[in-house]
Chain A
Amino acid sequence: MSDGPHNKPRLATIWLDGCSGCHMSFLDIDERLLELTARADLVYGCLVDAKEFPEGVDITLVEGAVGTAEDLHKLLIVRERTRVLVAMGDCAITTNVPGMRNPFGPRAVLERAYLENATINKQIPVVGLPPLLPESLPVHACVPVDVFVTGCPPSADRLFEVISGLLDGQLDDAAQVSKFG
């Protein structure tokens, strides 16, 4: 795929508005992770220590919906620097649970959580936090997506199958399985 330092394809993951369950499922690939790391370099994500999303990434797995201005900012950089973008899991694809705020709007949800239901320190936190977008958005509503992997979370087997398939260059087969929830 790419001409990285080791001539191995460069793999990245990113965690937006999701519960980390998709990343947990990715970790559940277990000993087959060794097989994947033999075939690709993991260059960015919450499992490695890189601070900046690097240039020239071959495959990026995106977990989570786009819920904040920061999510959107990160996603635009990721898309620009990624060849094959994978929407990983239902939150990235349909907004799923993070999208359950959409009928009510961010203000009502924040007030319910931090004012109405709080027993002490009633205040809506703002310092150092990105503002919520008016609606939680699916990844493909913001940038083009190449592969959709449904599931909450997608099973470890499914993720392994998709990543292996992409490393083998078999995109079509990987795209055809649907299992929401």
Chain B
Amino acid sequence: MSEVRTLVIDGKDVAASSDQTVLSAAKESGIHIPTLCHLDGLSDVGSCRLCMVEVEGSPKLFPACATKVEEGMKVTTNSDRLVAYRRNVIELFFLERNHVCAVCVANNSCELQAQAKALSLTHFELPALHPELAVDATHERFVLDQNRCILCTRCVRVCDEIEGAHTWDISGRGVAARLVSDLGIPWGSSMTCTSCGKCVQVCPTGALFEKGRSVAEPKARRPYVPYLVEAQRRLS
């Protein structure tokens, strides 16, 4: 059973339920914490590290999306140190793969591009890796472009948790990690994919997109996952 917890976020007294995350408590109190891998309606994995916050009494940083509220917690969501880390995180995402905004289907509707803007990132200090990566266009309706994937796993989670197909998963570790369909077969040969397109809808970048979508073509971003969760709850 959940109980009430009181904590302080950015100097503001906040009451939350014990099963809530710091991110959700902050959001309810109108405090903005930047996120990338989090999506309302899906489980949280804390993979992107953008929502890191400081908690008084600990030298460590905590991912707000994967940290439960505690009684008496004192949280700081914005500081020079956090901004510096968030800028590093976004820079590393850009440099690890080939993000060419100008010719990307997601140009102007990309969450990675938007985060760079929000953090006033005008250039990158480290050299880009420029890896040679595959584009999987074997599916009848959709394309997976590994060049743009940031491994947020929103697609993996929506496919597993909402659609119930679990077509997507991550293979490999670290810089060699790749999004794979089924056990690493071309998406078009997947026997589990239902072609529902949820993964395409939730992708924050241009890694998953509908065939025929052109550069910078706007994509409707409806926060529909929470409705699907609610619909599932009522049906079960």
Contact = CB atoms under 8 A, between A and B. Distances in A.
Given A141-B127, A177-B120, A180-B116, A90 B132 contact: no
B180 to A, nearest CB: 20
A153 to B, nearest CB: 9
Interface in A145-181: 145, 148-150, 152, 175-181
B88 interface: no
Contacts of A140: 123
A180 to B, nearest CB: 4
Q: B interface, how many residues as a size bin?
A: 20 to 34
Interface string B92-116: 0010001011111001101001001
Interface of A is mostly: loop
B117 interface: yes
Contact of A94 (B117, B123, B216): B123
Contacts, number: 70
Count chain B CB atoms within 10 A of each CB in A97, A140, A177, A181 and give the residue with the most: A181
B102 A177 contact: no
A27 B133 CA distance: 37
Contact of A135 (B101, B121, B130): B130
For chain A, give the interface size range: 20 to 34
B120 A178 contact: yes
A178 B119 contact: yes
B100 A138 contact: no
Interface in B112-141: 113, 116-117, 119-124, 127-128, 130-133
Nearest to A93: B123
Contacts of B117: 178-180
A103 interface: yes
Interface of B: 94, 98, 100-104, 107-108, 110, 113, 116-117, 119-124, 127-128, 130-133, 216
Contacts of B132: 103-104
A56 interface: no
Contact of B130 (A87, A102, A179): A102
Given A95-B128, A100-B98, A181 B123 contact: no
A102 B128 contact: yes
Contacts of A82: none
Interface in A82-139: 87, 90, 93-97, 99-100, 102-104, 135, 138
A99 B123 contact: no
Nearest to B102: A152
Contacts of A87: 123
B102 A148 contact: no
B50 to A, nearest CB: 16
A180 B104 CA distance: 11
Nearest to A153: B102
B123 A97 contact: no
5 contacts: A97-B102, A103-B133, A140-B123, A148-B123, A178-B121
